[in-house]
Amino acid sequence: MNTPSIDLKQLLADAKETHPGAARAIDRLITLAPMFQSAARDMAGAYGETFLRRADDRVAEIDFLCNGDPEKFDEAIQAYVRFCLEFARKQAEFLKTGKYSFQDFDEMCSELYDDDEAVQSFYLFALLFSFIFSPNYYEFYDFFETEFLSHITDNGTICEVGCGHGVYLGQALSTHPKSQGVAIDISPGALEVAKRMLNFHKIASDRVDFAQDDLRKRLNRDKGMAHAIICCEVLEHLPDPQHALHELHRILRPGGTALLSAAIRMESVDHLYVFRTPEEVIEMIERAGLKLQASRVVPLAKGNMQDEEERRKLAEDPRVPVGYICRASK
């Protein structure tokens, strides 16, 4: 990102008063991993006060999951650092081979999703810090807040598939107090964390149904059961994302709204399906019967992301990994 130059020391001194959670996350990150200074500077420069406000919110959630233990908080930051380094290593390999390292979903399941310790102590904390320090996750959350929450009604069931930590569902149920929630994930460890996240957001337990289920198959849900669906950062984990989209379309009620995201030519610790372009994702969404209403592409590269033309050019560069998120309707 090309961003106004930020004096991190000054930012930290000011934020300690106004946004103590954000100041804590930045301080611990650059203390434990000084090479992340530019990431913190870039995010603060690009997104300003909103970055600090959102970081405060995420830190409160993370702190709750860590039971307020500062050592656990540091371990969570270190998980994020390891996750980013693993991403960089695997992405370099992907640019050489054109393939993601995982070729088999079941192998990924036994290495990660079935391992509660890996999911709870490494994976989900890394994702939660990504919402603070990684522009693709940050912008996905921004799209969720500005383009999804205000477009859904408060009179039905919000279903999150592949909920992971449950940040999106917790927020959606807080802002839509008359709605019920369904949290679905293949990983039992993730469902436990999502349950705690919804406790943090003070969502009454009788408002949410937590279920282990598999989006590779037919979900154990009736046709049209949800008026809103959230399925973020899941499609690229599946061997057949087209099947998953048909399934999401089946459980969405007519007139309902879906929030969908996908990682494009972007490796991670658990990516399986290589999307090459945003258009490929859009085609699949439309083939499933959903209508695109709004979307955003987020190239992970240096550049002025406020300039739409520059953003579009970067998104077209086949070497640049891209995050894609959209709102679609049935």
Residues of the shown chain interacting with ligand SAM in the complex, contacts defined by CB under 6 A: 113, 127, 162-164, 185-187, 190, 214-216, 232-234, 237-238
Structure tokens at 20: 């103590």
Smallest gap, in angstroms, from Cβ of residue 274 to ligand SAM?
A: 16
Q: Look-up: residue for tokens 């399941």?
A: 109
Nearer to ligand SAM, 142 or 233 (CB): 233
Is residue 193 within 8 Å of residue 183, measured between CB atoms?
no
Angle at 172 between CA 166 and CA 174, to 5 degrees: 100
Smallest gap, in angstroms, from Cβ of residue 177 to ligand SAM?
A: 22
Residue with CB nearest ligand SAM?
164
Smallest gap, in angstroms, from Cβ of residue 218 to ligand SAM?
A: 12
Smallest gap, in angstroms, from Cβ of residue 147 to ligand SAM?
A: 15
Smallest gap, in angstroms, from Cβ of residue 238 to ligand SAM?
A: 6
List, in order, residues 6 or more apart from 83 with CB less than 8 Å away. Answer: 122, 123, 126, 127, 130, 269
Nearer to ligand SAM, 219 or 290 (CB): 219
Smallest gap, in angstroms, from Cβ of residue 194 to ligand SAM?
A: 8
Nearer to ligand SAM, 164 or 278 (CB): 164
Smallest gap, in angstroms, from Cβ of residue 166 to ligand SAM?
A: 8
Nearer to ligand SAM, 30 or 245 (CB): 245
Strand partners, 52: none
Nearer to ligand SAM, 41 or 237 (CB): 237
Nearer to ligand SAM, 259 or 290 (CB): 259
Nearer to ligand SAM, 51 or 141 (CB): 141
Smallest gap, in angstroms, from Cβ of residue 118 to ligand SAM?
A: 11
Nearer to ligand SAM, 20 or 188 (CB): 188
